[in-house]
């Protein structure tokens, strides 16, 4: 990214709580139009919490979440989604009482420009054969494909993925990397939470390292080379 | 036909009852469908469903009588067909408002509160109709177009009945189709599984919940209109059916729509057949089937096994607080109780003491194990009847009578506990409620309980051949001693290692299991102890008031004990006692209101659930502990300040 495009999502001084216990302690980061950025960090660092805050799923929070000039912090999840943000949760969130088809068609279309079902099936041909089976009868990899495919139809411009490679075989991880690259090429802005640094390094324009509920380091793609050891230290236990 | 004659049943009777069974089954199916949908989506055990059904029937009746109700306005009488359209919509709107105003507020709380809230709403609504219409039923004619019948040769089929069955089947399977096969249905199913994620996809789940509730309630209203020409339109019509509906839903498998429909129809038919072959069991057969299903298929016939460990967020006393100091309060109660008959009527004092004992027993299972039992009237009432019978018919010594009553209550407690312990949360409540109905219907029918009259003029006798209990003060002091012993007993249990284990089960059952506790056995023991103590209260009650009646085994008694515990403070030592005192005083003060008492009591239920979940004692406890904390913090600050100044010097 040579020219600086405009900031799409800006997180400023975000604090969040689960009941009495605090999970985010003043988090700051931003995503620009068309970028793919990652949040890296060890287990329990607060990555998922940050995403859940953006989606309005964590109520108790302070700070500003600005999406295209609009503060989302006080909005309900369904409103946030309709502003053009699509969310692919940790552990995939496939509905077991819905068929593959129903799962894929569940999120309502909120704007023009989303992918068609045919285009999605082209990205994930495996799903075609399983079209009518219950969502949770799929393998882990297939479920992840379904979870990714599910949010591409809606016309949302900002896609949020929470650890899409977790627990998957290397072949499938590679396939998902290809898909993410295609999505980026298509103009989607992507926020990716990852612990698999090698996977993230190849894809992302910028990286934010999260630790103890805040962003402690930020690197652009070019700065990675010198800082690998540092990042690994943050990710290691 | 020859075969029928062979077993000695005339075919007309058989087919007649089969038809009655199908009709009842149609209503069971429509009603349990609504309850199942509401439970599936909202996780609310909609006890007010019966009242909403009644609203539907009254709605039709009002529309028909518009000219008489508002004579000046020149309104037309609106008949059955329009009622069938208008009334369900109106009832659905009422449902939507109820969801907005009340039900929405308890989604994030333990299932218990949803049930309590809807019990309160049901009491208030049904109570209000009872004030105006009493027990008398209103007539509503069959519409002209559906009058008459068809002679099928072996029986006469009234057209209206055929119509009800056909419509019920269409409505039920139509609903099933919408939920299972349409886009809207996929939203509903997905929101049942993971509402947050569905919201994050841009679907307005809160509105979906409201509409679902409104739909389920509208269905009840629809069933009410359908029922108006068949059953009498009366304030009690919903109360009679709701507990059966809960049993049907448990049998079908909670949350299973298909299960609710099929079991509804099937159980109606089985009930009808029972009327032919063994009429004595016809009112209990559904509850007995429920017990059997629970033994062999705990998740219900069509339900999937769910292992939801809902952590009861009921409040509890803070150990170390003087409010939880059993010895102190035992002394206070002994002295205060000794003086009480000089302040208030001894009879009222005894009423408070007996109900306090009952509530203490109840709190043992609800407060300390976190299981929402909703059938404690069974133990209280069974003991009351047995004690009264032993004293009145057999003339046994008083202490032996009570002992007999307590033994029976304990035995029933073991059995019901063993059946119910298999499920938790709301299921547990519905199951205990349904099981208690078996005892209730038994008491209605058995000859020795004397039906509506109950067992009257029970002799109080002499205790151990020494103390003449017909003397009111003697009776009072004996009651006080039993209460004190019961109070000390409960305190001992809570503070024993057994009580600590119960507490850890309530707080985190999976962890208790992983620590090697067989939690079901602990729960069963606690349940049995609770049943036993309830039996003590029930037996004592029969002797004090010289009466055992249907009110003792009626589900309102289960609701009362729950209300007392809730008002006082669930899981606190003093809560049950305070709750009993408050409720008895309240009932006395409100006695002048007559039938309105039930309405007020329902309103108190609702208010407690919405605003006073910790109860009186729990709220006081919270206030005290907050104050103690603030003081402690101040203390820390001053010591810090001192340390700083010292360091500076
Ligand atoms: N529902 C919850 N209730 C209470 N605490 C929670 C809850 N969810 C997360 N936490 C706590 O908040 C902190 C941040 O959790 P979060 O899930 O955001 O971490 P994460 O970075 O996504 O970790 P992982 O890589 O394991 O997914 C952790 O300490 C966690 O224990
Ligand atoms: Mg996470």
B30 and B173 share one domain = yes
Does residue B639 have a pLDDT over 80? no
- pLDDT one-digit tens code per residue, B480-523: 999 999 999 999 999 999 988 888 888 888 888 888 888 889 99
Q: Are B426 and B39 in contact (CB under 8 A)?
A: yes
B434 and B536 share one domain = yes
Does residue B648 have a pLDDT over 80? no
Q: Are B215 and B206 in contact (CB under 8 A)?
A: no
User: Is residue A48 within 6 Å of ligand 1 at its C-beta?
Assistant: yes
Domain boundary (B509, B538, B554) is at B554
List of E strands, B104-253: 149-151, 156-158
Question: What was the pLDDT predicted at B509?
Answer: 81
CA B454 – CA B90 distance, rounded (Å):
41
* Binding-site residues on chain A for chain B (CB distance < 8 A): 55-57, 76-78, 80-82, 86-87, 89, 93, 95-98, 102, 105-108, 110, 151, 154
Residue B588 resides in a domain = no
Model pTM score:
0.89
Please say whether the dihedral angle defined by the alpha carbons of residues B640, B645, B646 and B648, taken in this order, is positive or negative. positive
Does residue B341 have a pLDDT over 60? yes
Domain residues for the domain of B459 are: 326-554
Q: What percentage of chain B exceeds 90 in pLDDT?
A: 61
User: Backbone dihedral region of B574: left (phi > 0), alpha (psi from -120 to 50 degrees) or beta?
Assistant: alpha
Q: Do B199 and A96 touch (CB under 8 A)?
A: no
Does residue B637 have a pLDDT over 80? no
B contact test, residue of A51, A52, A91, A93 with most B CBs within 10 A: A93
CATH number at B183 reads 1.10.3470
* Strands lying side by side in the sheet with A21-32: A21-32, A7-18, A61-67, A70-71
Question: What was the pLDDT predicted at A120?
Answer: 94
Distance from CA of B609 to the nearest CA of A (A): 21
Q: What percentage of chain B exceeds 70 in pLDDT?
A: 94
Domain count, chain B: 2
CB atoms within 10 A of CB B102: 18
- pLDDT one-digit tens code per residue, B535-564: 999 999 999 999 999 999 999 999 999 999
Q: Are B324 and B316 in contact (CB under 8 A)?
A: no
CA A29 – CA A8 distance, rounded (Å):
11
Q: Do A57 and B196 touch (CB under 8 A)?
A: yes
ipTM above 0.85, yes or no: yes
Question: What was the pLDDT predicted at B221?
Answer: 97
What lies within 8 Å, CB to CB, of B490 at 6+ separation is B360, B361, B363, B364, B533, B573
- pLDDT one-digit tens code per residue, A3-47: 578 999 999 999 999 988 999 999 999 999 999 999 999 999 999
B92 and B149 share one domain = yes
Mean pLDDT, residues B154-180: 93
Specify the length of chain A in residues: 237
Q: Are A189 and A19 in contact (CB under 8 A)?
A: no
What lies within 8 Å, CB to CB, of B338 at 6+ separation is B477, B480
Assigned fold of A7-235: Rossmann fold (3.40.50)
Question: Which residue in the block uniquely carries the two structure tokens 């009495």?
Answer: A20
Q: What percentage of chain A exceeds 90 in pLDDT?
A: 75
Does residue A151 have a pLDDT over 90? yes
B63 and B123 share one domain = yes
Mean pLDDT, residues B450-460: 90
User: Is residue A52 within 6 Å of ligand 1 at its C-beta?
Assistant: no
B386 and B286 share one domain = no
B369 and B292 share one domain = no
- pLDDT one-digit tens code per residue, B580-599: 999 999 888 888 888 888 89
Residue B223 resides in a domain = yes
Does residue B641 have a pLDDT over 60? no
CB atoms within 10 A of CB B131: 16
Q: In terms of C-beta density within 10 A (0-12 exposed, 13-18 middle, 19 or more buried), how is residue B153 classed? A: exposed
B contact test, residue of A106, A154, A161 with most B CBs within 10 A: A106
Residue B642 resides in a domain = no
Of A46-50, A92-96, B310-314, B420-424, which range is least confident? Answer: B310-314
Domain boundary (B252, B281, B296) is at B296
Please compute, for residue B273, the number of CA atoms within 13 A of its CA located in the half-sphere on the CB side: 8
- pLDDT one-digit tens code per residue, B98-133: 999 999 999 888 888 898 899 999 999 999 999 999
Domain boundary (B254, B276, B296) is at B296
Looking at the complex, does the CB of residue B204 fall below 8 Å from at least one CB of chain A? yes
Residue B1's pLDDT band, with cuts at 50, 70 and 90, is very low
Does residue B8 have a pLDDT over 80? no
Mean pLDDT, residues A168-190: 93
List of E strands, B17-172: 149-151, 156-158
- pLDDT one-digit tens code per residue, B232-263: 899 999 988 999 999 999 899 877 889 999 99
Of A147-151, A163-167, A173-177, B69-73, which range is least confident? Answer: B69-73
Higher pLDDT: B490 or B135? It is: B490
Question: What was the pLDDT predicted at B426?
Answer: 81
Question: What was the pLDDT predicted at B178?
Answer: 94
User: Is residue A43 within 6 Å of ligand 1 at its C-beta?
Assistant: yes
């Amino acid at each position: 990214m040579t020219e600086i495009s405009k900031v799409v999502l800006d997180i400023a001084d975000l604090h969040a709580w689960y009941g009495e216990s605090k999970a985010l302690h003043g988090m700051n980061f931003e995503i620009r139009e068309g970028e793919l950025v990652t949040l890296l960090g060890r287990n329990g660092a607060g990555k998922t919490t940050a995403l859940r805050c953006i989606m309005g799923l964590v109520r108790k929070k302070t700070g500003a979440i600005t999406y295209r000039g609009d503060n989302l912090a006080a909005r309900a999840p369904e409103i946030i989604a309709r502003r053009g943000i699509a969310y692919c949760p940790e552990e995939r969130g496939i509905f077991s009482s819905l068929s593959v088809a129903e799962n894929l068609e569940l999120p309502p279309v909120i704007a023009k420009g989303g992918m068609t079902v045919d285009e999605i099936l082209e990205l994930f041909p495996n799903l075609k054969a399983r079209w009518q089976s219950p969502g949770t009868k799929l393998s882990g990899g297939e479920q992840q494909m379904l979870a990714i495919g599910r949010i591409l139809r809606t016309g949302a411009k900002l896609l949020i993925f929470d650890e899409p490679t977790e627990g998957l075989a290397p072949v499938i991880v590679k396939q998902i990397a290809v898909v993410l690259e295609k999505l980026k090429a298509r103009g989607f802005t992507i926020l990716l939470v990852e612990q698999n640094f090698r996977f993230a390094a190849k894809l992302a324009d910028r990286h934010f390292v999260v630790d103890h509920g805040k962003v402690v380091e930020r690197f652009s793609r070019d700065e990675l080379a010198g800082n690998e050891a540092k990042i690994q230290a943050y990710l290691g236990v | 036909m020859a075969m029928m004659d062979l077993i000695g049943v005339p075919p007309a009777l058989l087919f007649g009852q089969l038809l009655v069974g199908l009709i009842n089954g149609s209503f069971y199916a429509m009603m349990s469908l609504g309850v199942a949908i509401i439970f599936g989506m909202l996780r609310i055990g909609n006890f007010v469903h019966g009242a909403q059904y009644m609203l539907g029937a009254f709605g039709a009746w009002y529309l028909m009588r518009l000219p008489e109700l508002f004579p000046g306005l020149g309104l037309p009488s609106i008949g059955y067909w329009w009622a069938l359209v208008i009334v369900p919509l109106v009832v659905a709107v009422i449902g939507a408002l109820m969801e907005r105003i009340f039900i929405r507020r308890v989604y994030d709380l333990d299932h218990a509160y949803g049930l309590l809230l809807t019990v309160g709403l049901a009491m208030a609504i049904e109570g209000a109709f009872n004030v105006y219409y009493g027990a008398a039923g209103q007539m509503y004619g069959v519409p002209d177009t559906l009058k008459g019948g068809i002679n099928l040769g072996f029986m006469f089929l009234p057209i209206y009945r055929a119509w009800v069955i056909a419509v019920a089947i269409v409505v039920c399977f139509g609903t099933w189709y919408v939920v299972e096969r349409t886009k809207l249905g996929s939203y509903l199913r997905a929101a049942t599984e993971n509402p947050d994620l569905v919201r994050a996809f841009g679907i307005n789940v809160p509105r979906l919940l409201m509409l679902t509730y409104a739909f389920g309630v509208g269905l009840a209203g629809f069933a009410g209109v359908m029922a108006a020409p068949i059953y009498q339109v009366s304030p009690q019509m919903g109360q009679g059916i709701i507990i059966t509906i809960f049993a049907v839903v448990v049998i079908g498998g909670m949350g299973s729509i298909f299960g609710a429909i099929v079991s509804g129809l099937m159980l109606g038919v089985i009930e009808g057949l029972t009327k032919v072959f063994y009429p004595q069991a016809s009112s209990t057969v559904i509850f007995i089937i429920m017990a059997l299903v629970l033994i062999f298929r705990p998740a219900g016939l069509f339900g999937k096994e769910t292992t939801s460990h809902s952590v009861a967020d009921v409040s509890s006393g803070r150990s170390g607080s003087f409010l939880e100091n059993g010895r102190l309060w035992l002394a206070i109660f002994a002295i205060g109780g000794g003086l009480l008959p000089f302040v208030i009527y001894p009879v009222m004092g005894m009423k408070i003491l007996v109900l306090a004992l009952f509530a203490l027993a109840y709190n043992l299972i609800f407060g300390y194990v976190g299981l929402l039992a909703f059938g404690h009237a069974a133990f209280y009432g069974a003991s009351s009847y047995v004690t009264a019978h032993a004293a009145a018919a057999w003339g046994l010594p008083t202490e032996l009578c009570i002992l007999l009553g307590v033994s029976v209550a304990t035995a029933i407690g073991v059995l019901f506990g063993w059946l119910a312990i298999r499920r938790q949360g709301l299921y547990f409540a519905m199951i205990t409620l349904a099981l208690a109905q078996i005892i209730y219907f038994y008491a209605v029918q058995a000859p020795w309980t004397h039906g509506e009259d109950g067992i009257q003029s029970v002799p109080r006798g002499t205790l151990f051949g020494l103390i003449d209990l017909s003397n009111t003060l003697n009776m009072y002091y004996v009651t006080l001693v039993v209460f004190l012993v019961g109070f000390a007993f409960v305190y001992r249990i809570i503070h024993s290692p057994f009580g600590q284990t119960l507490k850890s089960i309530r707080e985190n059952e999976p962890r208790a299991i992983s620590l090697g506790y067989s939690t079901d056995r602990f729960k069963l023991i606690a349940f049995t102890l609770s049943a036993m103590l309830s039996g003590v209260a029930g037996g004592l009650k029969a002797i004090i008031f010289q009466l055992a009646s249907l009110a003792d085994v009626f589900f309102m008694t289960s609701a009362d004990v729950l209300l007392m515990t809730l008002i006082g403070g669930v899981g606190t030592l003093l809560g049950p006692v305070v709750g009993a005192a408050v409720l008895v005083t309240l009932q006395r003060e409100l006695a002048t209101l007559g039938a309105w008492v039930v309405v007020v009591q329902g309103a108190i239920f609702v208010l407690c659930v919405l605003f006073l979940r910790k109860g009186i004692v729990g709220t006081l406890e919270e206030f005290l502990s907050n104050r103690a904390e603030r003081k402690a913090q101040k203390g820390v600050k001053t010591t810090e300040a001192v340390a700083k100044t010292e360091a500076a010097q």
